[in-house]
Copies of this chain bind each other. A is one copy, B any other.
Amino acid sequence: MSPRPFPPAPKAAVKPLRRDAQRNRDAIVAAAREAFAREGLDASLEGVARQAGVAIGTVYRHFPTRLALVEELFTAKFAELVAAVEEAVAMDDAWQGFCHYLERLCELQACDRALHELLSARLPAHVIGGELVGRARKLGAQVFRAAQEQGFVRADATPEDAAFVIWSQVGIIQATRSVAPQAWRRHLHFMLDGFRAGCAHPLPEPPLTPLQVDEALTTIECPEHECQECHEGQ
């Protein structure tokens, strides 16, 4: 990867932070990155503050809401994801593109618990990834269809079935991470074989519609009961 060719302030207009403030902000982001990767989206902000060596109030000054912090942390990751899909699209062999796409996706999930919670359902994706997620999904569908049209992927599958890969890896990764951190790759390849044309047997259920996937992804799976994040107004 080459360094960014763009001039320094493409999105300036942001007030420069005071030096100490910037330092603290960086510490918070670093601590949060670790905590969220390890503990998921519910990581304690007080823990983050402790780890960063600042008071809790400072965290709230920089990131008025948990969502703001999550956004800060994960737009980069989402960009990585989009990059991966774009690579996949560009591949000649559509099956290899398909594999690459899913493999990269799972790889990203595997190192970051919060990311796979995000990808699975935990927060309104549009709030976080914005158009990045939309773009990734559109491109992903494209990759899928290419592989299907070239006859690699079974005809009765749809791009929505790729969601099964994401959703299923959540459990696999969580269960095996401490015992065999790469086991998800084995599972992925079982699933890839399941997607192949040639050994397709009838499926008992219709595919999810894009809308259903959308709902499943937007439905906030909060820790039961009432979820404050459902309420838009802060």
Contact = CB atoms under 8 A, between A and B. Distances in A.
Interface residues of A, number: 70
Contact of A167 (B121, B175, B192, B208): B175
B177 A229 contact: yes
A4 interface: no
Contacts of A194: 190-194
Contacts of A229: 177-178
A123 to B, nearest CB: 13
Interface of A: 34, 37-40, 42-43, 111, 113, 120-121, 157, 161, 163-164, 166-172, 174-183, 185-187, 189-196, 198-208, 212, 215-217, 219, 221, 224-225, 227-234
7 closest residue pairs by CB, A with B? A199-B199, A168-B168, A194-B194, A170-B171, A190-B194, A186-B205, A167-B171
